[in-house]
Structure 1
């Protein structure tokens, strides 16, 4: 099977996730291409692929514009083949805010017209070392408010890699059926 992975990233964690998906898909014997929706080469012919995985992160309660544009422009093609959506957010990492993370996906689906066969809510990362002072203070407040250690100023990853691996396996199985 030929699988396309399209991602949108702000701080790099979703790119890391897309690369992990690609490695997993390839390791299971499938051909794979990875494209950044924010780059000009993201204009790919979906007809060359039997399955598509789209991954996008949430910032300020919205998925990246490039991912929204990609899903909207290709919604008919995405709906006509097995497709999956990985939504990456801090809200997805915490049990009490997962409904919020699901709302972001619901809004995305309604806006774009794409109905992915499967979706995964996946925690992202905080990268204090890359934030300016204001961003760092805001993120620290949010992280500390939710009871997670953030006072050391170190970067922290919230991605559940096992959940991602299981999701990829389930998606490939369903795509082959």
Structure 2
């Protein structure tokens, strides 16, 4: 099977997730092309792909514009082939925010017209060492109300086992 993974990343975690997904799928004997939505060619041909995985992070309650535009432009094709969405957000990692994470996906699906066959809500990461003062204050106030993890170090919320299981289930249903 020939799989295209298109991702959008702001701080790098979704790029890491997409790359790990690509490696996982390749290890199971499939061909994979991995493309950053910010660098897509305008003449990209999609017809030779058998399946699609779209991975996008959420910032300020919306998925990346480049991913949204790609999916909107190709939603008819995506609706006819096996296609899955990995939505990466801090809300997905926080137990009391999972409903909010699902709302981001519902909005994305509504805007783009795409109906992914599978969806994974996956936690992202906090990059405290890369934030400026205002970003750090925002994260501390809005996201990390409990105070854990502390801003003295970066923290990764991604459940890599959940991602591997999702990729395996996707391949089973797409195959």
TM, length-normalised to structure 2: 0.96
Give every structure 1 segment of 4 or more consecutive aligned residues whose post-TM-superposition deviation is greater than 6 Å. Answer: none
Provide the residue aligned with 1:70 in structure 2: 70
Provide the residue aligned with 1:88 in structure 2: 88
Provide the residue aligned with 2:15 in structure 1: 15
Does residue 1:110 correspond to 2:105, yes or no? no
TM-aligned CA deviation for residue 48 of structure 1? 1.1
Provide the residue aligned with 1:165 in structure 2: 164
SS at the partner of 1:150? coil
Structure 2 unaligned segments of length 5 or more: list them: none
5 Å-filtered alignment, 1:25-174, equals 25-41=25-41, 44-151=44-151, 153-174=152-173
Provide the residue aligned with 2:4 in structure 1: 4
Q: 1: CA distance between counterparts of 2:43 and 2:121?
A: 25
SS at the partner of 1:145? coil
Deviations 1:111-159 (A, max 9, x none): 00000000000000000111111001111223431452214x2100000
TM, length-normalised to structure 1: 0.95
- Structural RMSD (CA): 1.2
